[in-house]
Amino acid sequence: MSSTTEPTPRPDGPGASAPVSGADVLVVGAGLAGSTIARELAERGGRRVVVLEARQHVAGNAYDVVDEAGVLIHQYGPHIFHTNNQRVVEYLSRFTDWNGYSHEVLANVHGLFLPVPVNKISLRLAFGKQRGDELIAKLVGRFGDGEKVTIRQLREESDADLAEVADYVYRNVFLTYTTKQWGVGPDEVDESVTARVPVFISEDCRYFQDAHQGLPVDGYTALVQCMLEHPGIEVRLGVDARQVFEFGDGEVRVGGEPFGGTVIYTGPLDELFGNRFGSLPYRTLDFDFETLQQDRFQPSGTVNYTVSEDFTRITEFKHLTRQDAPGRTTIVREFPRDYVPDSTDEAYYPIIDPANLELHGRYAELASELPDFHAIGRLAEYRYFNMDQVVARALKLADRLLAD
Ligand code: FAD
Ligand code: UDP
């Protein structure tokens, strides 16, 4: 099989589907989940793999591209790779070197820039050194130095000083940002969401404390292209799998005939089954990119607007990519809103709650009736996964499939 990741869309219909029927494995989606599994099954399993990708590019939401000003940007929002999973690091490091970037975020609180996650430095800036140190001593006494405490946990504290910290952080860091991001306040989102950004009783200003973090030196698109560059893999861009395959009634068919191979599906399950039980809700983002004729725009990779503005955050890509591009820089503002099904919206954030998980479970049950069909990834599993988690799951699935 030939291997190409160039944007060469093929026509849909029988012409596009005929060669697919000869493949051992169909992978739907060339994001990190699909690309990892494609590589594993082709390389370790010697399988002939066809990857169908609806977009005109690989890498899914991690896709990056050089903009008109020559600045490398992340088309679907800022992506920082971070993990404690050694297998994932070693695996991806076969295809890329890392740039060593360590992500730092500041909250803009009425013009005061506080490190996020809120830490000892943030508290001294917010409360002044003396009062800040008193509050820090209380936090250390209650939770321990170096510990992380979620805003939910902190708000349960009855001690007046701890309640003061909780109230400040809640009002100035979480309330407005979360309401913008999710359309509801922090008490109405799943606890796991705000727990991603705990208060950190430390002076460590890194956003992530994982053992490994950074960006691929040549970007995520180059990384994924390298993963897909294998003689057993053929990539077809601009092809929606639903136009080539029929999924349902316990069968996957191509050109009217049952497809006898393995199917790896990384798209949304509700779409796959015609939204028959209703659409799974998501939050989406409108991105506003702007190029400025200056070296630098802001002091850190991302600034969160936690008490003002309609957008949640501004990211300046040159911090993340460490690109040397004198006299120009590109920033992006993120405006969250509800995702509209069957539109051009991108489904970015699953909304984790019992009803939505139950709805997803009904689709997953339909999927489980399809032979040798495996739903994996942030969309297909309707989970708020980071990139490393998706790669880890794809590696595990490959282990399982290759052991069969
Ligand atoms: P995706 O990247 O969504 O890939 C799925 C692919 O399948 C897409 O390319 C889609 O076009 C294709 N597809 C779907 N249906 C079909 C079909 N019917 N036919 C053909 N193709 C189809 N993670 C981090 O680790 N660090 C971060 O800093 C980070 N920042 C993020 C910021 C934002 C704004 C968002 C939205 C996510 C962020 N993530 C981050 C999460 C990260 O994007 C995901 O974990 C990862 O991209 C998921 O990979 P995936 O392969 O599961 O899905
Ligand atoms: N959050 C917040 N204020 C912040 C940072 C995060 O309220 O300054 C909350 C918000 O609800 C957000 C969640 O914590 O959706 C998780 O933040 P994270 O940075 O992990 O979100 P992502 O980068 O995935 O959009």
* pLDDT digit string, tens, across residues 168-196: 999 999 999 999 999 999 999 999 999 99
CA of 382 to the centre of ligand 1 (A): 11
Rounded to two decimals, what is the model's pTM? 0.95
Output the residue whose Cα is nearest ligand 1's atom 29: 79
Among the four given CATH numbers 3.20.20.140, 3.30.565.10, 3.40.1350.10, 3.40.50.720, the one describing domain 25-100+215-281+347-403: 3.40.50.720
Q: Assess whether the C-beta atom of 151 lies below 6 angstroms from ligand 2.
A: no
pLDDT of residue 19: 59
pLDDT of residue 21: 65
In angstroms, rounded to a whole number, what is the distance separating the alpha carbons of residues 258 and 271? Answer: 20
In angstroms, rounded to a whole number, what is the distance separating the alpha carbons of residues 388 and 82? Answer: 7
Q: Which residues surround ligand 1 with Cβ inside 6 Å?
A: 28-34, 52-55, 60-62, 76-81, 240-242, 266-267, 285, 348, 377-379, 385-388, 390
Which residues on adjacent β-strands are paired with residue 374?
Answer: 264
Which residues on adjacent β-strands are paired with residue 332?
Answer: 289, 315
**Where are the domain boundaries for CATH 3.40.50.720 in the chain?**
25-100+215-281+347-403
Predicted confidence band of residue 4 (pLDDT cuts 50, 70, 90): very low
pLDDT of residue 249: 82
Atom of ligand 2 nearest to the CA of 177: 7
Q: Assess whether the C-beta atom of 197 lies below 6 angstroms from ligand 2.
A: yes
Closest by Cα among 216, 210, 273 to 59: 216
Decide: 261 and 307 in contact? Cβ < 8 Å: no
CA of 59 to the centre of ligand 1 (A): 8
Output the residue whose Cα is nearest ligand 2's atom 14: 194
Predicted confidence band of residue 22 (pLDDT cuts 50, 70, 90): confident
Decide: 390 and 86 in contact? Cβ < 8 Å: no
Tell me which of 194, 313, 314 to substitute to probe ligand 2's pocket, judged by most ligand atoms within 8 Å of the beta carbon. 194
* pLDDT digit string, tens, across residues 220-264: 999 999 999 999 999 999 999 999 999 888 899 988 889 999 999
In angstroms, rounded to a whole number, what is the distance separating the alpha carbons of residues 364 and 233? Answer: 27
Region label for 250, one of left (φ > 0), alpha (ψ between -120 and 50) or beta (otherwise):
left
**Between 18 and 2, the higher pLDDT residue:** 18
Quick one: how far is CA 102 from the chain centroid?
17
Region label for 350, one of left (φ > 0), alpha (ψ between -120 and 50) or beta (otherwise):
beta
Output the residue whose Cα is nearest ligand 1's atom 24: 386
Tell me which of 207, 387, 395 to substitute to probe ligand 1's pocket, judged by most ligand atoms within 8 Å of the beta carbon. 387
Output the residue whose Cα is nearest ligand 1's atom 16: 267
In angstroms, rounded to a whole number, what is the distance separating the alpha carbons of residues 37 and 104? Answer: 31
Host H or E run for residue 349: strand 349-350
CA dihedral for 33, 238, 222, 386, sign (positive or negative): negative
**What is the DSSP pairing of strand 302-305 with strand 313-316?**
antiparallel
* pLDDT digit string, tens, across residues 344-399: 999 999 999 999 999 999 999 999 999 999 999 999 999 999 999 999 999 999 99
In angstroms, rounded to a whole number, what is the distance separating the alpha carbons of residues 236 and 244? Answer: 12
In angstroms, rounded to a whole number, what is the distance separating the alpha carbons of residues 39 and 45? Answer: 9
CA of 149 to the centre of ligand 2 (A): 15
